[in-house]
Chains A and B, each alone.
Chain A
Amino acid sequence: MPIRETFWNIPHWAEIAQYIAALVTAIIFIAGITRRVLRWRKGRPEKRSGHFWKRIGALITQVFGQQRTLDEKFPGIMHFSIFWGMLVLAAGTALATIDWDVTHLFFGFQILKGGVYIAFELMLDVLGLLVVLGLGMAIYRRYIARPARLQNFPVKKLAGDDTYVLVMLAFITLSGYLTEGLRLAVTQPDWAPWSPVGNAIAALFLSLGDPTNQTLHLIIWGMHIATAFGVLISLPFTKLFHIFSVPLNIYFRSLEPAGALRAANMDGGMGVKEWTQFTWKQLLDFESCTRCGRCQDVCPAYASAQVLSPRNMMVKLDDHLWEKKPRALHGEVVSVDELWACTTCRACVQVCPAFIDHVTTFVDLRRHLVDQGKMDQMLQDALSNLGRYGNSFGQSDRMRAKWTMGLQPPVKDARREQVEYLWFVGDYASYNATLTDVTRKTAEVFHKLGLNFGILYESERNSGNDVRRVGEEGLFEMLVDKNSQVLSKCKFQAIVTTDPHSYNTLKNEYPANGNGRYPVLHYSELLDQLIAAGKLKFSKKLGYKVTYHDPCYLGRYNGVYDAPRRVIEATGCELVEMPRHRERGFCCGAGGGRIWMEEKEVKERPSESRIREAVALEGVQTFIVACPKDLTMFRDAVKTTGNEQRLEVKDLIDLVAEAL
């Protein structure tokens, strides 16, 4: 009956040595894991329980299904192969151990015999090839193709860590196959063909004959076992640890809306000054990063000036947790410029296969800078203006509704009369001289559609979305208070806004401040609803070939991708997508308060990169945006890239107004 003689060719002393090694390995392994867990426990508490089944579901799709990892083909297949191959090999080894050390030892029977054994052999033998394939791809990628995102780690020793993992895994797999091959070469059982790889290797060694093969077998077995224990011992201390941390990180990921930031830590000053002020989950984040560099590839800040790489931030923060002599978090571990460079576009969070939330960490670190008053003069001015006048322009609040002058009929004052839609206009649409035309046009379209709407006039304040992301939590709270006070006195059914930033915070963060719930609509959603309800009918089919830019705070943060697209299509335009669209949309560079900061040296502004992307689309002459800041950013970029003749930047409302 087919069966494998366990510990065939292994002298008793070696067998004993193996068990001793296993014990030692287990002790070091547990100590290593404990060390990590104790480190996380130094972080602040944060509740991440609840939704058990939802969390388990994500483990299944993301860990076993490798869903997000597979978003990118080559690295996805590479990792998938290694993961499943190693998983099967490890499970096989575990099964063999149980078979020998439990069922055989205590109950005197073995599972792995006969047909079961044949199937087991065949599966491990073939699936082991997956590992070979995956490792081959990995070695090719890391050492031959050498994509930029795998290069230049801020912590130099990590290149060694990467190599170590590849070498060890490669060695385990190859030595495993060799051991098998040598055993088959000596024992030559009838069922050898069921181990096709091992059998093929056996054929190579046949000519050496016994006892050479037997000796070789013992040596290679020894090395295989040593490597295997080596890998286990090093698992809590190397990149291999991601095998544990990433599933945990996926399990414990935040299930709150993406647009709701956690309130600032106020204990010992605002934000995070020392790493122990991070929550345990943030520490787990740092320890989950596998340095795959996907986040760096999609990061607009990295693309424009290479100051900030979210990957490097995670690497540096992780390294910092283990420093013997901890350096200052701000200035030494991470630079101030890096922190300010982030646009909070969330592209990194969206692609990270380890489900790391970079943005929350960056904001926490910024909060400390704000606490210390360390920021550039422009930002200081903007924040002072926001505190004093409620807008970043430093203009009088009485000028906020100046754009309404001369509009007929006049725009209703939502503070005085009941309206159906309360239009929260936002700073840029209200004050920026080049945008007020579009704001007026929006009002005109609303009028034509017979909407009962009003605005807050001088009582509106900046919504605070970007103030909060800059890290000025206290000012954010003040702005929320002021707006909420006015809102609570107004009678309306829903809030509508053209500004995705205001939309995000009004929708996700205001209710958390205890001010009751009201639906918040982006104008694209409102228009979409009106079209669906037959209340908005177009008289013209525009027939333009257009492309559409997803605003980060509308798309990635709030998942509104389809409404604006349906509106565009309803106006009779043909929508051609840019390569980076929907979840992969590329930030314009203005978010997270970047629009208030000095622009440092740049290679290519994110907005310019975006315009070049659009210009490359065959026949597209119009670039549609659904955010006032986008309008300024991209109109500017069209000029700076010299594409004024080629591409026109239009607001969604321009299309609607034209097609009405």
Chain B
Amino acid sequence: MSQDIFVVIEHLRGQVADVSYAMLAGARQLSKASGGEVVAVLLGHNAQGLASNLAADRVLYVDHPALAEFTSDAYQIVLAGLIQEHAPRAVLFGHSSIGMDLASSLSARLGIPVVNSCRTFTDDGKFVSQICGGKIMAEGNLPSPALATMIPGGYKAEEGQSAQTPPLTAVSAPALDNLRVAVKQYIEPDTSDVDISKEKMLVSIGRGIQNKDNIELANELADALGCAVSASRPVVDQGWLPTTRLVGKSGKHVKPKIYLALGISGAPEHVEGMGESEVIVAVNTDPNAPIFNIAKYGTTIDMFDLLPVLIEKVKQAK
């Protein structure tokens, strides 16, 4: 077994996902303990350009037409081969739509342990996972070898970016026939609405808003502040706001100056989309809500008590 840390780079439609950079930063920390290299594993077709800003010691690149789009089937075959051949100390995947299609399956296929939802690693090679909706952290020695899925929040994407292009080794792909999974087409998200990822401030609402009518309150505040309203998944699932306003794992990733979270518990899937906001202000009646773990400021005042007053004051302040 080598001491290298592999990072499976996630990319879709020519863009590397932020979580990949964060993983490179995490891998860097792990490599300190192991003494190995950080190796970015890039799979694709005519995608070597994506490696240009990866903060990795080197890149293993596998090119094949069947890898042009992500499919669990083809990726699993290629990665299983690479892992068996190179025997890295650890392989990191995103805790995402891509990584989660791979890590557990490979664990079962290769008999290598997998650790889910790692937020950070420690210098002495421990993982720290966030479970139970962010209410509990689990810490343990990262088995050797190990696979791991990583949630964002532990490392900043910038730490995984580099101005230098790392050396790239092209590896030939194994036979990729009889694939059982194929991408038919992509359906683009609706872009007719405001782009919440471009707003400098967001008034974001969660299940705590209780019902559709109350959304008016959030709109009023956002209007007064001249910003947009965004939301957590339950609000969008109810159809109270369009999907374009969804923040989180399956929605937009946003980094506004101020993210005002109203009645949002701070589930990891939500935090994934807003954790990198400059200042998070949380209003939540539950003092134990995980949102307070990432917020800079918080209050446990009922949002229905706070909002009318706040709207008035903002209007006066203008």
B213, B238, B285, B302: the one contacting A599 at CB < 8 Å is: B213
Question: Is B211 touching A433 in the complex (CB atoms < 8 A)?
Answer: no
Interface residues of B in 227-257 (CB under 8 A from A): 238
Question: Is A598 touching B302 in the complex (CB atoms < 8 A)?
Answer: no
A378 in the interface (beta carbon within 8 A): yes
Q: Is the interface of A mostly helix, strand, loop or mixed?
A: loop
| CB-based A-B contact count at 8 angstroms | 9
Question: Is B238 touching A377 in the complex (CB atoms < 8 A)?
Answer: yes
Considering the chains assembled together, what is the distance between the CA atoms of A434 and B304 in angstroms?
11
Contacts of A599 in B (CB 8 A): 211, 213
A601 nearest CB neighbor, chain B only: B213
Considering the chains assembled together, what is the distance between the CA atoms of A433 and B284 in angstroms?
13
Given contacts A377-B238, A433-B302, contact A598 B211 (CB under 8 A): yes
Considering the chains assembled together, what is the distance between the CA atoms of A377 and B237 in angstroms?
11
B212 in the interface (beta carbon within 8 A): yes
Contacts of B212 in A (CB 8 A): 598
Q: Is the interface of B mostly helix, strand, loop or mixed?
A: loop
Minimum C-beta distance from A375 to chain B (A): 14
- Interface bits B197-229 vs A (CB < 8 Å: 1, else 0): 000000000000001110000000000000000
Which bucket holds chain A's interface residue count?
under 10
Question: Is B211 touching A378 in the complex (CB atoms < 8 A)?
Answer: yes
Interface residues of A in 425-477 (CB under 8 A from B): 433-434
Contacts of B211 in A (CB 8 A): 378, 598-599
A378, A433, A598: the one contacting B285 at CB < 8 Å is: A433
B238 nearest CB neighbor, chain A only: A377
B211 nearest CB neighbor, chain A only: A598
Minimum C-beta distance from B54 to chain A (A): 44
Which bucket holds chain B's interface residue count?
under 10
Considering the chains assembled together, what is the distance between the CA atoms of A433 and B300 in angstroms?
12
A394 nearest CB neighbor, chain B only: B207
A434 nearest CB neighbor, chain B only: B302
- Interface bits A585-614 vs B (CB < 8 Å: 1, else 0): 000000000000011000000000000000
Considering the chains assembled together, what is the distance between the CA atoms of A378 and B285 in angstroms?
20
Considering the chains assembled together, what is the distance between the CA atoms of A377 and B238 in angstroms?
8
Minimum C-beta distance from A380 to chain B (A): 11
Considering the chains assembled together, what is the distance between the CA atoms of A154 and B183 in angstroms?
54
Considering the chains assembled together, what is the distance between the CA atoms of A448 and B225 in angstroms?
50
Considering the chains assembled together, what is the distance between the CA atoms of A377 and B211 in angstroms?
10
Considering the chains assembled together, what is the distance between the CA atoms of A472 and B285 in angstroms?
30
Contacts of A377 in B (CB 8 A): 238
Considering the chains assembled together, what is the distance between the CA atoms of A433 and B305 in angstroms?
12
Minimum C-beta distance from A430 to chain B (A): 16
Minimum C-beta distance from A604 to chain B (A): 15
Considering the chains assembled together, what is the distance between the CA atoms of A362 and B250 in angstroms?
42
- Interface bits B60-73 vs A (CB < 8 Å: 1, else 0): 00000000000000
Minimum C-beta distance from B135 to chain A (A): 14
Contacts of B213 in A (CB 8 A): 599
Considering the chains assembled together, what is the distance between the CA atoms of A157 and B285 in angstroms?
56
Contacts of A433 in B (CB 8 A): 285, 302
Contacts of A378 in B (CB 8 A): 211
Interface residues of A in 194-213 (CB under 8 A from B): none
Considering the chains assembled together, what is the distance between the CA atoms of A348 and B285 in angstroms?
40
Contacts of A434 in B (CB 8 A): 302
Minimum C-beta distance from B299 to chain A (A): 14
Which 9 residue pairs are nearest across A and B when measured between Cβ atoms?
A598-B211, A599-B213, A377-B238, A378-B211, A433-B302, A598-B212, A433-B285, A599-B211, A434-B302
Sample of 7 more A-B contacts, CB < 8 Å, known A598-B211, A598-B212: A377-B238, A378-B211, A433-B285, A433-B302, A434-B302, A599-B211, A599-B213
Q: What are 9 contact pairs spanning A and B, CB under 8 A?
A: A377-B238, A378-B211, A433-B285, A433-B302, A434-B302, A598-B211, A598-B212, A599-B211, A599-B213
